[in-house]
Structures are given as structure tokens and as C-alpha cells.
Amino acid sequence: MSEAVDYEVSAHYVSSLAKVMEAQRLLHVCPCDALALLENPWASRWWPGSVVESAFVAVRRDFGDEALRAVASALLQQHMTPGLAPAISWLVALAGVRPSALFSRLDLLAMTLLRGVRFEWKADGHRGGVVRVCYPEAGPDPQVRVEVWRGIFEQVFAVTHHQGSVTDLHVERGVVMARLAWE
């Protein structure tokens, strides 16, 4: 019998998540294995994604979908500060960067944070498209991935200064799919 394939998250991702979870006073809900890596994120360069996902499962279980989206949004903000956010704001002001510029490059933007997760973007005109986030296997609670990605997508709209919508967001066998549109 083969071992289950897991995706991995970087120590930087875990460190940012620890800061977010501490700031939002959520560390106490984490399972022991997730808490151990959140307390010492730099002990390894890469961590099993399933362990980090168990922290997300606990947040959703104890505080609901809105709290989980807030964690995901804050996690993206934490990654972009201080270096990336000003650059994106500058590009938005100068060139009117559309969300599609970021959605079409999710694989590049996430390569230092996630391993074993693929991203696909299919534009549907100039103001929308479909994104697929492909995990190697289904997670323990599919709705956790839905809410995490909803929070991330909404944050991308905020960063690019576009009013956007996330519709038809669902998971099928480890693949998160969403239709994204913006004005």
C-alpha cells in the first residue's frame, strides 16, 4: 500500500500563519501537531500541508467560515508586507493591473510558499475567468479549502483595487474551482 501524497507549505508560510493566528488569538484551537510547527516554523524548510490544514479545520469548526476567510486574507496580507504590497500598488496605479495578471501567475506567486499544488487559470474575456487549485488529494474538510481560497481571492481583488466576485466555488476530489469576475 502506498503512502498518501501530501502537499507542502514553506517555513515562511507557517511563520506568517503563526503571526496571523496569534494576532487573531486562535492558536489555542490548533491540534497539537499544528501548534508544534506554528511555535517553531523554522525548524524545517517545508512542512506537511495536512498539518497546517488541520489548524484551518479547527478555526472553521470553532469559529466558522468568516473567521477562516479572515485568517486566509490576513495570511496573504502578511506575505505581501512590506515588500510586495507597495510594488503591486505601484503597478496598479501606473498600469491598471487587472486581477487576471495575478490569477494567471498563481503558480509563480505561490512557488515559494506551496509545493505539490498546481494552479490553472482560464480567462473568460477581460473581466473574469475560472481558476483551479489542484491538490494531490482531497482534504479532510473540503469546505476548509473553499473558504481559504475565497479569502485569498477576495484579498487579490482588494490589492488590485477591483470590485470582484467569487461564484461557483466548490471542490471536487481535491481540486478547488471558482469562477472569478471583476469590474
| Euclidean distance between CA atoms 14 and 173, whole angstroms | 25
pLDDT at 108: 85
Asked if the model's pLDDT at residue 43 lies above 90, the reply is yes
Q: What are the DSSP calls for the chain, one per residue?
A: -PPPP--EEEHHHHHHHHHHHHHTT-GGGS-HHHHHHHHSGGGSSEEEHHHHHHHHHHHHHHH-HHHHHHHHHHHHHHHHTTTHHHHHHHHHHHH---HHHHHTTHHHHHTTTEES-EEEEEE-SSSEEEEEEE-SS--S-HHHHHHHHHHHHHHHHHHTT--EEEEEEEEETTEEEEEEEE-
Specify the CATH architecture of the domain 8-182.
Alpha-Beta Complex (3.90)
> pLDDT tens for residues 145-180?
999 999 989 988 887 888 999 999 999 989 999 999
Q: How far is C-alpha 160 from the chain's CA centre?
A: 16
pLDDT above 70 for 66: yes
Q: Quote the pTM value.
A: 0.86
Quote the pLDDT of residue 90.
Answer: 62
The top-scoring range by mean pLDDT among 56-70, 96-110, 161-175 is 56-70
